[in-house]
């Protein structure tokens, strides 16, 4: 489950990072749309978990990176954000 979660978070990071508008709200909306679609078949995460995860990722991304281009250049940093957020959400 951990490896699957990491893969999903990485995919989400990449999807969120390419969003033209670099605001927390824009990133949350993009993440929610993408993650909900991916989760429909597997039903591994609750709606609440998805919301918390996307909010956490968007908050940390917009704090750490000033632009989507800057975020795209730091793939390892994005993975770390995903891991940190997943750990936070899954521990609640």
- What confidence tens digit (pLDDT) does each residue in 20-36 have? 689 999 999 999 999 88
Q: What is the pLDDT of residue 45?
A: 85
- Mean pLDDT estimate for the chain: 84
Task: Tell me: pLDDT of 4 over 60.
Answer: no
Between residues 19 and 53, the one the model is more confident about:
53
Q: What is the pLDDT of residue 8?
A: 65
CB atoms within 10 A of CB 52: 17
Confidence band, pLDDT 50/70/90 cuts, at residue 65:
very high
Q: What does the domain layout of the chain look like in residue ranges?
A: 2-90
Residues with Cβ within 8 Å of 24's Cβ and at least 6 positions away in sequence, in order, are: 58, 59, 62
């Amino acid at each position: 489950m951990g490896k699957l979660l990491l893969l999903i978070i990485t995919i989400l990071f990449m999807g969120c990072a390419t969003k033209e508008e670099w605001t927390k709200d824009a990133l949350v909306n993009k993440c929610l749309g993408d993650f909900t679609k991916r989760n429909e078949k597997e039903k591994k995460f609750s709606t609440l978990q998805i919301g918390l995860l996307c909010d956490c990722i968007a908050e940390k991304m917009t704090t750490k990176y000033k632009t989507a281009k800057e975020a795209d250049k730091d793939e390892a940093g994005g993975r770390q954000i995903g891991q940190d957020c997943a750990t936070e959400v899954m521990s609640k």
